[in-house]
Homo-oligomer: A and B are copies of this chain.
Amino acid sequence: MVELSTTKDGIPNQAEASDRVLQILSEAGRLFATKGYDGTSMRDIAVACGISKSLLYHHFSNKDEIYARVAVGSTLELYLFVRDRVPDGPPSQKIRAFMVATAEYFRRYRWAWIASTTAFWNDPDRHRQKERLTRRDRFENFLRGLIQEAIDAGEIRKVDVPMTGRLILSSLNWMHRWYNPNKSATPEQIADIFFDMVFNGLRSGDAAGSPPAETLKSSRRKARQTPRS
Contact = CB atoms under 8 A, between A and B. Distances in A.
**Copies of this chain:** 2
A156 interface: yes
Given A38-B39, A122-B35, A194 B206 contact: no
A162 interface: yes
Which of A92, A202, A206 has most B Cβ within 10 Å?
A202
A141 interface: yes
A167 interface: yes
Interface in A187-226: 190, 193-194, 197-204, 206, 208-209, 216, 219, 223, 226
Determine chain A's interface SS by DSSP, over half rule: helix
A169 interface: yes
A61 interface: no
Given A122-B35, A197-B164, A203 B155 contact: yes
Given A159-B197, A160-B219, A173-B174, 18 more contacts: A36-B38, A118-B118, A118-B121, A133-B228, A140-B228, A140-B229, A144-B223, A157-B202, A157-B204, A162-B223, A162-B226, A163-B194, A164-B202, A167-B194, A174-B174, A197-B201, A198-B198, A201-B201
